[in-house]
Amino acid sequence: MERQRELDLSGKVVVITGASRGVGKQAALDFAKRGAKVVLAARTVKVDSALPGTIGETLRQIEDMGGEAIAVATDLAKEEDLRRLIDAAVERFGGVDVLVNNAAATTGDIWGKPFLDLTREEWLYQFDVNVHAPFTLTQLVVPIMEKRGGGRIINLSTGSGEVFRKAEEPPKLNAQGGFSLAVPGYYSSKRALDRFGNCMAPELHAKNIAVIGMHPGLVATELVQIRVKERGLDDSVAVPMTIPARMIVYFSACENPAEYTGRLFWAEREMADMGIELDEEGAVCPS
């Protein structure tokens, strides 16, 4: 792939789920540096002793850099919260131009739980957060984007997707380094999200809306760092959060998203192949 020119994001309205920490937070900061107006969605509104970060903290960081944002407490498993999130974006900023479906069910006993120990309730919850929430949010934002002339929807995927560009996809690994990948509900639901984007791309393309899937890789998020510390895992395979965040911004700003719509990309590989750089502080560098 050849790198495209990146358009100005000043004034664009970006909704990001899972923005209290990790890739979602980093992407929110990077969008704000480009002048976008950011709508931050996450469940974490109070400081949690187990996990760092709140949407309020992300909001303050954006405001401290002179950016515009709002924080909306959102439980992705609740349809009423999803509707309230988009309503808040429209009420405050007038619409939505970019939707980043970043949040996923990755905490608690679900992660690493053997298949036979997984309850139906836990299985369904992962689909509620990882598939049904993006489905509902997409239905809510498409009419808004269409009225504004188009938009972008970025779905965060996983290594279970077909990102390897080989004739036959390699078998799924049980682990990457010391990190367990035995999370059937997570990987199954993310694969469903990949297919959803692929299936919806032609219909949304007619409305000038691109839907792009991106595999961030194993990322050195706060949660990963906690697992490294608690379990003594090797984190040498983890990439910085700035890499997937940079590619989220790229796909949101690229001049011709039609080249990418309906497809699934791997952040680290695509960033290297297209020669996309970070600045010295990890912030994005417009081309």
Structure tokens of 127?
């689909």
- Which one from 125, 186, 250, 260 is the annotated catalytic residue? 186
User: What is the residue whose two structure tokens read 């990963």?
Assistant: 224
Distance CA 265, CA 246 (A): 13
Q: Is the pLDDT confidence value at 218 over 70?
A: yes
Token pair for residue 93? 């900023």
Contacts 24+ apart (CB under 8 A), 143-149: 144/86, 144/90, 144/95, 144/96, 145/95, 145/96, 145/97, 145/207, 145/209, 146/207, 146/208, 146/209, 147/95, 148/95, 148/96, 148/97, 149/208
Q: What is the pLDDT of residue 2?
A: 87
In this prediction the pTM is: 0.89
Dihedral sign for Cα 93, 214, 84, 208, please.
Answer: positive
For the chain, what is the mean pLDDT?
A: 86
pLDDT for the residue 229:
61
Q: Which domains, and CATH codes, for the chain?
A: 13-273 (3.40.50.720)
Tell me, what's the pLDDT at 287?
Answer: 45
Residue 160 reports pLDDT greater than 60: no
Q: For residue 242, give the nearest of 261, 262, 217, 260 by alpha carbon.
A: 217
Q: How far apart are CA 5 and CA 255, in angstroms?
A: 6
> What's the helix, strand, coil split of the chain in %, to 5?
45, 15, 40
In degrees, rounded to 5, the angle at the alpha carbon of residue 163 between the alpha carbons of residues 187 and 152 is 85
Q: Which of 112-121, 153-162, 177-186 is most confident?
A: 112-121
Average pLDDT over residues 147-175: 73
Whether 44 and 50 have beta carbons less than 8 Å apart is answered as no
User: Whole-angstrom Cα distance, residue 154 to residue 251?
Assistant: 8
Instruction: Tell me 265's DSSP state.
Output: E
CA dihedral 69, 72, 76, 79 (to 10 degrees): -120
**What's the pLDDT score for residue 234?**
62
Q: 116 burial class (0-12, 13-18, 19+ CB within 10 angstroms)? A: exposed
pLDDT for the residue 282? 46
| Residue with more model confidence, 266 or 219 | 266
pLDDT confidence tier of residue 236, bands split at 50, 70 and 90: low
Which whole number is the average pLDDT over 28-44?
94
Q: What is the pLDDT of residue 163?
A: 52
Average of pLDDT values for 46-62?
Answer: 79
Phi/psi-derived region of residue 21, left when phi > 0, alpha when psi is between -120 and 50, beta in every other case: beta
Asked if the model's pLDDT at residue 1 lies above 70, the reply is: yes
Task: Please confirm, yes or no, whether 260 is among the known catalytic residues.
Answer: no
pLDDT value of position 184? 82
pLDDT tens digit sequence for 59-69:
999 999 999 99
- Which among 24, 27, 83 is positioned nearest to 51, based on CA atoms? 24
Looking at the DSSP bridge assignments, the partners of residue 151 are: 209
pLDDT at 248: 96
pLDDT tens per residue across span 73-91:
999 999 999 999 999 999 9
Residue 126 in this model has a pLDDT that exceeds 50: yes
Q: Of 25-34, 147-156, 187-196, 213-222, which gets the smallest average pLDDT?
A: 213-222
Q: Name which residue leads in pLDDT, 226 or 31.
A: 31
- CB within 8 Å of 159: residues ≥ 6 apart: 172, 173, 176, 181, 215, 217, 218
Burial of residue 95 (number of CB atoms within 10 Å: 0-12, 13-18, 19+): middle
- Do the bridges between strand 179-180 and strand 175-176 make them parallel or antiparallel, or are there none, so unpaired? antiparallel
